[in-house]
């Protein structure tokens, strides 16, 4: 009697099963009420129903069911992005979803830029007082700060539009900010080299292109340096000279800590290194009272 051979499971079949299992796990982890979905009968399983995911992603229920069951269907990048959004996937989860679906991970939805900061980050900045501290993006946008940082740079960030809160833009356009920096002739070439190095990882990004165009629009000097020189430089810890109308010249140690991932936002803190720096800290502490 001939033995019946078992069906061969291919790598593609296994990947489809993994995709289905991942979709199901994400679906079952979601709270329908938090997504604003109406209550309709008793739910036998936790999370969303398949028809609810299909509705949110604007795809057919039967097609989505087949996808979750690991059947041989071929979703497009646009459809998979809609499913990732419906399932509230993080950027990492969306990338994983695309890989399992056999799609280029670069097409997965990217992290949404959030201008706000957490309460923990706010407490951290306040705890560092009177040491000046700020949170900056890779493009030098300032997204959070403590009072000492504003006093050090001679600006009130609450009076500055959010789109103008950028270290390079403020150096180019804000007289008080520019006046607080020592060795000003050296600052702009360094900024140009910083931005050129950072932008290499964001070529074609419309937000970065718009930022660069804005620098060009407000500073012919920046534009000239950008086109004439090709220096690149990574942001690094260094001693930084400041010039203050009351305190005179003093030097502070510039220190960076990076969030994860490495190219994410960075925490900048200035620390005293000598008596002049300590006097500056004392003055900043007085301003905070």
pLDDT at 120 (0 to 100): 81
Question: Under a CB-based contact definition with an 8 Å cutoff, are residues 277 and 251 in contact?
Answer: yes
Whose tokens are 């620390």? That residue is 271
pLDDT at 5 (0 to 100): 47
The pTM of the full predicted model, rounded to 2 decimals, is 0.61
Distances (CA, A) of 168 to 177, 188, 199: 10, 8, 14
Pairing of strands 248-258, 142-145: unpaired
CA distance 52 to 73: 20
User: What tokens does 285 get?
Assistant: 């502490």
Task: Report the b/e string of 153-179 with b at 16+ CB within 10 A.
Answer: bbbebeebeeeebbbbbbbbebeebbe
Question: Under a CB-based contact definition with an 8 Å cutoff, are residues 251 and 273 in contact?
Answer: yes
Whose tokens are 């994410």? That residue is 264
User: What tokens does 213 get?
Assistant: 């165009």
pLDDT at 61 (0 to 100): 92
pLDDT at 201 (0 to 100): 73
- Low-confidence stretches of the chain (pLDDT beneath 70): 1-13, 33-45, 106-117, 203, 259-263, 288-289
Distances (CA, A) of 183 to 170, 186, 205, 253, 280: 16, 6, 32, 15, 18
Whose tokens are 């670069």? That residue is 106
> How many Cα neighbours within 13 Å face the side chain of 46?
6
Dihedral angle, C-alpha 193, 195, 196, 201, nearest 10 °: 140
CA distance 59 to 47: 19
pLDDT at 219 (0 to 100): 95
CA angle (183, 187, 193) in 5-degree steps:
150
């Amino acid at each position: 009697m001939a033995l019946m051979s078992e069906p061969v499971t291919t790598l593609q079949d296994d990947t489809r099963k993994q995709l289905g299992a991942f979709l199901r796990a994400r679906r079952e982890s979601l709270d329908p009420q938090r997504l604003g979905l109406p209550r309709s009968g008793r739910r036998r399983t936790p999370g969303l129903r398949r028809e609810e995911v299909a509705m949110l992603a604007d795809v057919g229920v039967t097609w989505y069911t087949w996808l979750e069951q690991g059947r041989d269907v071929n979703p497009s990048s646009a459809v998979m992005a809609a499913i990732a959004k419906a399932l509230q996937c993080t950027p990492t989860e969306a990338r994983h979803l695309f890989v399992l679906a056999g799609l280029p991970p670069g097409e997965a939805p990217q992290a949404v830029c959030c201008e706000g900061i957490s309460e923990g980050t706010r407490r951290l900045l306040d705890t560092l007082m009177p040491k000046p501290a700020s949170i900056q993006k890779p493009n030098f946008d300032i997204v959070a700060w403590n009072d000492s940082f504003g006093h050090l740079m001679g600006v009130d960030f609450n009076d500055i539009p959010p789109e103008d809160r950028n270290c390079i833009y403020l150096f180019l356009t804000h007289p008080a900010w520019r006046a607080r920096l020592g060795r000003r002739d050296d600052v702009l070439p360094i900024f140009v080299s910083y931005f050129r190095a950072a932008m290499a990882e964001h070529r074609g990004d419309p937000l970065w292109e718009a930022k660069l165009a804005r620098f060009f629009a407000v500073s012919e000097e920046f534009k000239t340096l950008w086109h004439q020189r090709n220096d690149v430089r990574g942001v690094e810890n260094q001693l930084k000279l400041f010039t203050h109308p009351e305190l005179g010249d003093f030097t502070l140690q510039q220190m960076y800590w990076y969030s994860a991932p490495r190219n994410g936002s960075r925490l900048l803190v200035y620390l005293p290194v000598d008596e002049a720096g300590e006097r500056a800290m004392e003055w900043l502490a007085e301003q905070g009272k």
